[in-house]
Amino acid sequence: MDRGIWATWYDLPEAGRDEYIDYLHGIYLPAMLKRPGYLWAAHVQNVDSPEREAANYKRLTHTDDPSVPQGYRYLLLFGAGDPHVFVAPAPEEINATLSAEERRLLARQTAARPATFVEAGRVDGPSVKTRAPGITPGPVIQFGTFNVNALENETDMNAWYALSRLPLVGRGEGNVGARRLVSIAGWPKHGIMYEFASLEAAERNLRDTSDWSRRVVDTLVHAPHSPTLGVRIWPPG
């Protein structure tokens, strides 16, 4: 069971983009999957449009903490049976073993915002069979990361996910699944990762205008640009 997730949101300049992508997909990610405990890896290119950004910032509260990195156009994901796989060794220790050229290429990531999570709950959707290869997350991923504005609101938020939000994912055609996450490292305390068979399913299947939903959403303080929504560009298939 892949109960640990290491996620990194980041931006990438156009200059040198293709060289970086070729290295990441052709060398770095396959090599990481040979490490003990690493079960899957995924690289996501997020939807980046003024309309989506405006809608996100209109309906959700986002942190104004200038120390929180702002990257969001790409999302790099790794899965493991246990989140401690990602701290022994830590990413910095792994990167220190790479060649100077490999470190140069990875340094093209800008405004990177990493976080390591442990799964608190999950549900499979009707389209769970599109999760491939193996247990790699589905073709489209929406990932929200946030804190709650007051401790007394966390129980209500957790109940909403357990009794309303996750069951909703289990019903909608085109939904692959969802995972409720809690962080052991990084800015957010909470995360939610949804998987879909298509962008259309993502836009169609999570609408919830109930009073409970609005009340919970109003208590959340999101990471920059959260939630991100994107298409998996590696692995293929």
pLDDT of residue 23: 98
pLDDT surpasses 90 at 1? no
Q: What is the pLDDT of residues 51-108, one digit of tens each?
A: 989 989 999 999 999 999 999 999 999 999 999 999 999 999 999 999 999 999 999 9
Using the predicted structure, report yes or no on whether residue 237 has a pLDDT greater than 80.
no
Angle at 105 between CA 45 and CA 14, to 5 degrees: 50
> 130, 134, 120: which is closest to 176 by C-alpha?
130
- pLDDT at position 155 is 97
pLDDT over 70, % of the chain: 100
pLDDT band per the 50, 70, 90 thresholds, residue 143: very high
pLDDT on residue 209: 85
- pLDDT confidence bin for 48, thresholds 50/70/90: confident
What are the pLDDT digits (tens) for 94-115? 999 999 999 999 999 999 999 9
Residue 164: band (very low, low, confident or very high) from pLDDT cuts 50, 70, 90: very high
Q: Is the pLDDT of residue 207 over 90?
A: no
Domains and CATH numbers, the chain: 4-234 (3.30.70.100)
Q: Residue 62 has what pLDDT?
A: 98
Residues 193 and 137 sit within 8 Å (Cβ to Cβ): yes
pTM value?
A: 0.96
- 10 Å Cβ neighbour count for 16? 12
182-197: average pLDDT: 98
Q: What is the mean pLDDT of residues 29-58?
A: 95
Q: Looking at the DSSP assignment, which residues form a beta bridge with residue 132?
A: none
Region 38-45: mean pLDDT is 98
Angle among Cα 222, 226, 232 to the nearest 5 degrees reads 150
Per-residue confidence (pLDDT) for residue 235, from 0 to 100: 97
- Distance CA(217)–CA(9), nearest Å, equals 22
User: Average pLDDT of the chain?
Assistant: 96
